[in-house]
Amino acid sequence: MSDARQIEAEIYERLSKVIDPELGRSVTDLGMIAAIEATPADANVDTDAYDVTVHVELTVPGCPLSETITNQINGAVSSYPGAQLNTHIEVGSMSRDKLADLVADLKAERRQNPFSKPGVKTRIFAIASGKGGVGKSSVTANLAATFAALGYDTAAIDADIYGFSLPRLFGVHTQPTNLNGMLMPVTAWGVKLISIGMFAGADRAILWRGPRLQRSLEQFLSDVWWGEPDVLLLDLAPGTGDMAISVAQALPNAELVVVTTPQPSASDIAVRSGLVALQVPMKVRGVVENMSYYEHKGEKLEIFGAGGGQRVAEQLTEALGYDVPLMAQLPLEPEVRETGEAGRPAVLTSEGALRTDGIGQTFRSLAERLMAL
């Protein structure tokens, strides 16, 4: 094998470690490396310098992660230790036939909901509430961002079809990439997301009933390429309607997290959302009390009363016959609303790191408790 051919083979091996962030596979396995050409930088001089051109074929033109993938490929080639390389990356896109073959292979692995298969390691948490307005979606968004910041491969489904809000809370204004009928979730703040709001638009009213609601969830699970996330969160619609039942049927290993606020008018209804576990194969993992207090000049003001979260936990423990703990009490903080409406989960800094102050530590503790068992 000539030096040039050896360099090409060794670079191909190095590129097998470069992972496509959407599909979770190496760029070589996906057929994205069309060719590697290595030639001496000066054919008339015996030198260790080579010009290397890597021909990259992305799945679609204008791939949103084109720059990320190209930078990773460039880094893998440039760090080659065996010779001095002048790297050139030529980026194109796959032919229609090649893309169709790739999608067919990927779909063959995902003929059904991947999260219902035996042995799946993904922890699934369905975030529920008895009524709207208790901050369920905000809790979901910040919890998902916390998991991602802690290094977990994290996915989130906006299963609140009528009141979708995760796109806004994550600052998402784009649609998922469609690969011949297979959707790539949109990634924001480290979390892979899908929501009907990405398709319907923020100003559309969704008028769906039972079977169509169930089908939407099945499509989110089966027709979206999630890879193999460590954590999947579902932001459920308030109450105990069709979607909660559909989640329990499609994801029998899901664990329910009930969100409430302190006042009885919210906590009494929150108990009902947890009692769904008596009728479907789903365990209630715990209770989160949101808006527990407002801190003003060092004093905790219980604006909405006190004890609602603990009441829900105790009633569910008694009704279900196993321990349902109060896992967190979250303060009422205007910053959570302000940053959320601006498109960034409040637990993150502007650089995307998990905050080390109160709210960051509170959600970190909640995430660690959820993953402990």
Q: Model pTM? A: 0.77
The per-residue pLDDT for 1 is: 42
Question: For residues 176 and 356, what is the distance between their CA atoms, to the nearest angstrom?
Answer: 32
Instruction: Determine the angle formed by the axes of helices 3-15 and 66-78, rounding to 10 degrees.
Output: 130
Residue 315 Rama label (left phi>0; alpha psi -120 to 50; beta): alpha
Q: Which residue ranges are tagged as binding site for ATP?
A: 130-137
The per-residue pLDDT for 361 is: 92
The per-residue pLDDT for 112 is: 65
CATH superfamily of 3-109: Fe-S cluster assembly (FSCA) (3.30.300.130)
Q: Which residue ranges are tagged as binding site?
A: 130-137
Enumerate the β-bridge partners of residue 103. none
* 116-371 CATH choice from 3.90.1150.10, 3.10.580.10, 3.40.50.300, 3.20.20.140: 3.40.50.300
Computed from CA positions of residues 346, 349, 350, 351, in that sequence, does the dihedral angle turn out positive or negative? negative
In the chain, domain spans:
3-109, 116-371
The per-residue pLDDT for 206 is: 45
The per-residue pLDDT for 195 is: 87
Give which of 66, 59, 53, 52 is closest to 30, Cα–Cα: 59
Going from the C-alpha of 152 to that of each of 173, 220, 286, 301, the distances in angstroms are 24, 20, 20, 35
The per-residue pLDDT for 21 is: 78
The per-residue pLDDT for 44 is: 62
Question: For residues 258 and 309, what is the distance between their CA atoms, to the nearest angstrom?
Answer: 9
Residues 6+ away with beta carbon under 8 Å from 19: 25, 26, 27, 72
Residue 229 Rama label (left phi>0; alpha psi -120 to 50; beta): beta
Give which of 135, 101, 201, 79 is closest to 337, Cα–Cα: 135
Question: For residues 134 and 163, what is the distance between their CA atoms, to the nearest angstrom?
Answer: 13
Give which of 6, 81, 91, 73 is closest to 40, Cα–Cα: 6
Question: For residues 227 and 331, what is the distance between their CA atoms, to the nearest angstrom?
Answer: 34
**Along the 373 residues of the chain, how does pLDDT read in single tens digits?**
458 888 888 888 888 888 887 777 788 888 898 998 888 877 666 667 888 899 998 887 777 778 888 889 888 888 888 788 888 888 888 888 888 888 887 777 665 677 777 778 899 999 988 887 888 899 999 999 999 999 999 999 988 777 788 889 999 888 887 777 778 888 999 999 988 877 765 455 444 444 555 566 777 887 888 888 999 999 987 776 666 667 767 787 889 999 998 888 777 788 887 887 777 778 899 999 998 888 877 788 888 888 889 999 999 899 889 999 999 998 888 888 888 888 999 999 989 899 998 889 999 999 999 998 6
Question: For residues 257 and 278, what is the distance between their CA atoms, to the nearest angstrom?
Answer: 15
Q: What is the DSSP letter of 6?
A: H
Per residue in 205-249, pLDDT tens? 444 444 555 566 777 887 888 888 999 999 987 776 666 667 767
Q: CB 37: neighbour CB atoms within 10 A?
A: 15
